[in-house]
Amino acid sequence: MDISLANLIELVKKVNRNKVPNPMPAEEISRLRVRKYRDPQNTETTELPESLKALLAYDRDLLSNYNMPVIETLQRSIDKEGVIHSYSPDEEAYYGVGMDSSGIDIEDLMPVWNNDPRLPALIRIDHVGDQAIFIYITERDANGEYPIARMERNEFWLAESSLVEYLYNIISGAKDIGFTEEDLHL
């Protein structure tokens, strides 16, 4: 994707529905870490993507052009040590495909997904629609970003190359609410 983080932040500032940004203090951002793996027993952490640091520094209450929080769920997963914990798709898969009506207890089926302790962490990003969106914690790319994964019902796949690309694609839909292509850097 050719859009830079600086251009994305400029664009986010134009379309943010939260008219009074609430920046997270730099000291708080600098102490944040993200779990590297999904397995709760594997406590290794790593750096946040640069785009997430920039979004938190701009507005921790960021609202999308659809008037929906973007990083609210993610912030609820931060513990008192400043670690952002991984989401587990097991419960969503169990209920999403109707296994709960089978009479089989979720604990009897755990884990629904592969239980390899090295599975990359999934950091949830709030999203309109039926899909769940995650920052997929692997290795940071040259821009300090991680890929984005999507999940719908029991299907899981890698999608966009980064949070920058994902948000750009979402915000580009803002043409429908009155922003010009020039405003959106299109």
Q: Which helix (H) or strand (E) holds 73?
A: helix 72-76
Q: Which has more confidence, 132 or 186?
A: 132
- pLDDT confidence of residue 180: 57
Q: Which has more confidence, 122 or 101?
A: 122
Report residue 109's pLDDT band, with 50, 70 and 90 as the boundaries: low
- pLDDT confidence of residue 5: 93
Q: What is the mean pLDDT of residues 67-93?
A: 89
Angle ∠(136,143,184) on CA atoms, nearest 5:
90
CB 162, CB 147: distance < 8 Å: yes
- State which of 43-52, 63-72, 129-138 shows the largest mean pLDDT: 43-52
Nearest Cα to 22, choosing from 87, 75, 82? Answer: 75
For the entire predicted model, the pTM comes to 0.82
83 forms beta bridges with: 33
Between the alpha carbon of residue 74 and those of residues 27, 56, 105, the distances in Å are: 18, 11, 28
The average confidence (pLDDT) of the chain is: 85
Domains of the chain, each with CATH number or no CATH: 5-177 (3.40.1580.30)
Q: What is the mean pLDDT of residues 146-157?
A: 86
Report residue 94's pLDDT band, with 50, 70 and 90 as the boundaries: low
- Length of the chain equals 186
Cβ within 8 Å of residue 95, ≥6 positions away = none
- pLDDT confidence of residue 102: 81
- Quote the CA–CA distance of 91 and 69 in Å, as a whole number: 22
- pLDDT confidence of residue 59: 97
